[in-house]
Amino acid sequence: MVIAMLVLRPGPGWWALVMLASAGVLAAELFNTAIEHLADHLHPEVHPSIRVVKDCAAAAVLVAVLGAVAVGIALAVQLINF
């Protein structure tokens, strides 16, 4: 991502958006990992409620990734129109 940004040379606003989107995805991944490990530690057996918690955490990562993809698409559209 950083290499692509250096090659494309977008403005500072785009740098901020891309960095925030990337940080959001990484944070979501870290929270997801923490929740899954904690749930497995506290309740190692398969449990429907634990499954829902893990699915929700994974869905949060997906939402963060989709937001980052939207930023990437918006950046690509902006650069193509110039």
pLDDT of residue 40: 94
Whether the per-residue pLDDT at 68 is higher than 90: the answer is yes
**CA–CA separation, 62 vs 57, rounded Å?**
9
Fold of 2-80: Helix Hairpins (1.10.287)
Each as own residue / partner, the long-range contacts of residues 76-79 (CB below 8 Å, 24 or more positions apart, any chain) are: 78/10, 78/14, 79/8, 79/10
Read off the pLDDT of residues 16-40 as tens digits, 9 standing for 90 and up: 999 999 999 999 999 999 999 999 9
50 burial via Cβ count (<10 Å: 0-12, 13-18, 19+): middle
**Cα pseudo-dihedral 33, 50, 47, 36, rounded to 10:** 10
Q: Model's pTM, two decimal places?
A: 0.87
Mean pLDDT across the chain, nearest whole number?
94
